[in-house]
Amino acid sequence: MPKLIAIIDDEDDLRLAVKKGLENEGYRVKDFDRADALFKFLNLAAPDLFILDIMLPDTDGFSICRQIRNTPELARIPIIFLSAKGEEIDKVLGLELGADDYMTKPFSLKELAARVKARLRITEEIKTDLQPRKLVLNEEGLEVFAEGKKIPLTLTEFKILQLLYTRPGKVFSREQILSHVWSGEKEVFDRTIDVHIKNLREKIGRYGKRIQNMRGVGYKYEK
C-alpha cells in the first residue's frame, strides 16, 4: 500500500498543490488546515510522514511537533517542516524539537518529493535494523547469530552450516559435506555427518528445521 503523508497548512492553494504533487508521486495524502482536525485524524490512523507548517490559526507547528514526539505511537514518524519562517533560529528550534528536515517557502515540489522519499527510505532502513536479525553467519569471524544472539558452534558444525546456508536449496551429499569439512580424510565415516547435523539443529533452535534431510541423498538448507 502507498505511504500515507499528513500535511497541515492553512494556505489552501499551497496545501492542495503539495497534496496533488505528492499524489502524482504515488503517495496517499491527507491534508488539514487546523491542528484539531489533524489530531482527530490521528486518533484513527497514523501516517508514514508529517509535513508541518509553523504559523497556523489554532496553534503552531512547533507545538504539533512537540506533541507528536511525546506520543509513543507517533514518536518515530518523520517530520518535515515547510514554512515561510526561514530564520536560522526557527530552523534550529524545529530540528531540536525532533523534526527530521526543514524547508522554507517558496520551494520546489520536486525537491520536497525527493526529501519525502529520502526520509521514508531512512525510516524503513531503521525499522529493518530494529527487527530480529534471524539467522546470520559471520564467515570471517566464524560466528553464528540467531535473532541477534550468538550461538556457540564447534568448527565442524560451523563449516557444515556454512556450506548449506550459503547455497540455500542445493542438496549436498554426505560425501560432499565430508569433503568440505574434513578435506577427504579417510577415517571419517559419512554417518558422522548425521551426528553433527543433529547437534547443529538443536543448537540453532527453530532454524534447525530448515536443515532438511533428503533421504538417500544428503542435506540442504531451505530458507
Transcribe 155-191 into DSSP letters: HHHHHHHHHHHTSTT--EEHHHHHHHHHTT-TT--TH
For residues 81-102, give the mean pLDDT. 91
Contact 17, 109 (CB under 8 A): yes
Does the model's pTM come out above 0.75? no
Q: What is the distance between the terminal CA atoms of the chain, rounded to a whole angstrom?
A: 26
Q: How many CA atoms lie within 13 A of 103 on its CB side?
A: 18
List the domains of the chain with CATH numbers.
4-130 (3.40.50.2300), 135-221 (1.10.10.10)
Among residues of the chain, what percentage have pLDDT more than 70? 93
The conformation of residue 10, written as its DSSP 8-state character, comes to S
Report the alpha-carbon distance of residue 175 to residue 69 in Å, rounded: 59
Report the alpha-carbon distance of residue 41 to residue 20 in Å, rounded: 20
- 134-166 pLDDT, tens digit each: 888 888 778 888 877 888 999 999 999 999 998
